[in-house]
Structure 1
Amino acid sequence: MKKLLPYFMIAFGASLWGGIALFVRGLKELGLTEMEIVAVRVTFASMFLLVIGVARYRHLFKIQLSKLPLFLGTGILSIAFFNWCYFTTINLMNISLAVVLLYTSPAFVAVLSFIFLKESLHVKKVIAVIGTIIGCILVTGLQTNTSSSITLIGLLIGLGSGLGYALYSIFGKVALRHYAPFTVTLYTFLVAMITLLPLSGVWNKGELFLNPKVLLYGAGLGLIPTVIAYFAYTWGLEKTESSKAAVIATVEPIVATLMGLILYDEHLTIIQLAGSTFIILSVVIINLPGRRRKLLPKIVDK
């Protein structure tokens, strides 16, 4: 049973991510815009992380100012941008399609890592990128059910969530060379909060936060699919292989799809299900263990 616990924790964390739409749509219905919802999420998450940090990780608070640009990358270019794109997509189309478009991130990571981190491009990565492209075409370009209300802007914003999520892997990988995971997470959310609070204009709707439902949804968004999900996933990740964790994490779109079907009466066409399968299989393929065959050599060998 102990051997299975890390896998369970990874699946648990990913399942919590899959339920994020419940909080996003709840706050949207209460009158908040997508950018304001992002500000609410990073603010509550920052407060929870600060409390946890003071209680257990005070030795991880110190950073060098010279490394601050890394957190500008993770906090603004990734977390703020990716959350806005993702939350907007959730409110523009089916929850399941929104999370599937988010899962295009491994394809973006493969390409960006090759360009900026000089990582090798292998056959599996190329197959995964091609599979992701085919999946996106099936999900959106061959749509036959107009009730899914897929638009070009919705597609582009959905792909933007995948790109933003991928950028976290790029900036985060560099940041983790210098700091512990908790430090990277804490300052990522703090930077995002400091940036978004004045820009989002959320304080202009201060009266909304007198509504207990807004506070409940906001605190829930910052705690359940953010802080708790992160710690559960990270705890499991520390005790298993990252490739296995990435495959197990594909439970997220399954949970999101079930939520859309049960709570919001959403439906997908056979073609859209096929496209979603292509994207999820691409995530699995890119993380399959085993001997890798290089397709293109590293640009710089160190």
Structure 2
Amino acid sequence: MKRLLPYLMIAAGASLWGIIAVFVKELADYGFAAMEIVAIRVIYAALFLLTIGLLKYRKQMKLKQALDIRLFIGTGILSVVFFNYCYFTTISQMNISIAVILLYTSPAFVTVLSLIFLKEKLNINKILAVLGTIIGCILIAGVSAGDSNITLLGILTGLGSGLGYALYTIFGKFALKKYQPFTITLYTFIVAALFLLPITQLWQKLDLLMNTNVLLYSIGLGFIPTVLAYFIYTWGLEKIEGSKAAVIATVEPVVATLLGVMLYGERLGLIQIAGAFLIFCSVIIVNITFRKKGVKRVEQKIS
């Protein structure tokens, strides 16, 4: 059981990411726009992380240089804010199932961006993964032209969420050269919160934010699929290879898809399922590299 526990924790963390749409849809029903929901998520997450940091990780709360804040502008604004805005917009435009499938185009974006910025080499697996992702997206978008649940804006923001998700990996790799994962996560959400608070002016909706249901959904959004999911995933990540964790984490779109089917009555057509299957396979393929003496997974997911 002890050997299985890290794998179960990875799956549990990814599953918690998969239920994020519940909180997003509920807050949207109360009249919050996508960017306001992003602000709610990062503000509550920042508060939770600050509390945890003060109690347990004080040494990791210090920045080595003031200029390092620019690293967290990358992870916080260019990635987390952009990714969440696109993802939440996609959820409001289309089925949860399609939204999370498009989100999982991120490994293809990581492959391309790593080639450009990190000078990582391409191999046959990565090329196949990118091609599989592209074909999968074409199948999902192309056959849905007459589907009222599919919109051009939704497709574009869905791909944008994949790009934003990928950017966290790129900026995160640079930040990891100097800081621990907790430090990166803490300042990512602090920067994102400070950036969004004046833009969204959430204080103008203070009465609504104090509504009992809204408060519970807001706290839940900031804690359950954000802070709690991060800590569970990270605990498991410390015990097993990051590449294995990345493959196990593909349970996230499965959970999100089942959630859409069971709670919201969503359905996918056969060709859309084929497109989703190609994207899921691409996520797994990009984490596999073949060697003469077997198979070894080498990519690591930064979440």
Q: What is aligned with 2:44?
A: 44
**What's the counterpart of residue 139 of structure 2?**
138
Distance 2:13 2:47 in 1: 20
1:181 & 1:117 partners in 2: Cα distance? 19
Q: TM-score, normalised by structure 1?
A: 0.94
2:276 maps to a residue whose letter is S
Deviations 1:128-150 (A, max 9, x none): 00000000001111227624x21
**CA–CA separation in structure 2 for the residues paired with 1:68 and 1:288:** 34
- The alignment of Structure 1 onto Structure 2 pairs a total of residues equal to 291
Taking the aligned partners of 1:67 and 1:138, their CA distance within structure 2 comes to 42
Tell me the equivalent position of 2:84.
83
Partner residue of 1:283? 283
Letter in 2 for 1:170: I
CA contact (8 A) 2:27 2:214 kept: yes
Mapped contact 2:9–2:233 kept (Cα < 8 A) = yes
User: Which residue of the partner structure matches residue 272 of structure 2?
Assistant: 272
Residue 82 of structure 1 contacts residue 163 of structure 1 at CA under 8 Å; is this kept in 2?
A: yes
1:206 CA drift (Å): 1.4
Q: CA deviation at 1:290?
A: 3.4
Residue 121 of structure 1, CA deviation: 1.0
Report the residue type matching 1:47 in the other structure.
L
- Once residues 229 and 66 of structure 1 are traced to their aligned partners in structure 2, the CA distance between those partners, rounded to angstroms, is 29
Cα pair 2:129 2:285 within 8 Å, conserved: yes
Q: Report if aligned partners of 2:93, 2:153 keep a CA contact under 8 Å in 1.
A: no
Deviation for aligned residue 1:201: 2.4
Aligned equivalents of 1:146, 1:285: Cα separation in 2: 30
SS of alignment partner, residue 177 of structure 2: coil
Q: Please report how far the alpha carbon of residue 210 of structure 1 lies from its aligned counterpart in structure 2 after TM superposition.
A: 2.2
Partner of 1:208: 208
Residue of structure 1 equivalent to 2:125: 124
Give the deviation of 1:184 after TM superposition. 0.2
| Separation (CA, whole Å) in 1 of partners of 2:204 and 2:176 | 36
User: What secondary structure, in the 3-state scheme, does the structure 2 residue paired with 1:179 have?
Assistant: coil
Identity fraction in percent: 63
Alignment of 1:168-207 (within 5 A): 168-207=168-207
The one-letter amino acid paired with 1:66 is L
| Per-residue deviation, 1:175 | 0.2
Give RMSD over aligned pairs. Answer: 1.1
Cα shift at 1:72: 0.3
2:296 is aligned to none
Matched residue, 2:236 = 236
**How many angstroms does 1:289 deviate by?**
4.6
- Superposed CA deviations along residues 61-117 of structure 1, whole A, max 9, x for unmatched, are 111112111100000000000000001101110101101100000000000000011
Which residue in 2 is equivalent to 1:71? 72
- Contact persistence 1:143–1:271 (CA under 8 A): no
Alignment-derived partner of residue 300 in structure 1: none
| Corresponding residue of 1:299 | none
1:60 corresponds to: 60
In 1: Cα distance, 2:15 partner to 2:181 partner: 21
Query: C-alpha distance in 2, partners of 1:230/1:88?
Result: 23
Instruction: Find the residue that maps to 1:290 and give its secondary structure.
Output: strand
**1:95 corresponds to:** 96
What is the TM-score when the length of structure 2 is the normalising length? 0.94
Residue in 2 that maps onto 1:296:
none
Bigger mean CA offset, 171-180 vs 241-250: 241-250
Give me the whole-angstrom Cα distance separating, in 1, the residues matched to 2:50 and 2:4: 31
Q: Once the two structures are superposed, what CA deviation does each residue of 1:259-300 show, in whole Å capped at 9, x if it has no partner?
A: 1011111111011111000001000001125329xxxxxxxx
Aligned residues of 1:144 and 1:269 also touching (Cα < 8 A): no
Which residue in 1 is equivalent to 2:246? 246
In structure 1, the residue corresponding to 2:291 is in which secondary structure?
A: coil
Indicate yes or no: 2:87 matched with 1:104.
no
For 1:113, give the aligned amino acid.
Answer: S
CA contact (8 A) 1:145 1:269 kept: no
Structure 1 residue 238 displacement after superposition: 1.1
> 5+ residue gaps in structure 1?
293-302
| Cα contact 1:48–1:227 (8 A) shared by 2 | yes
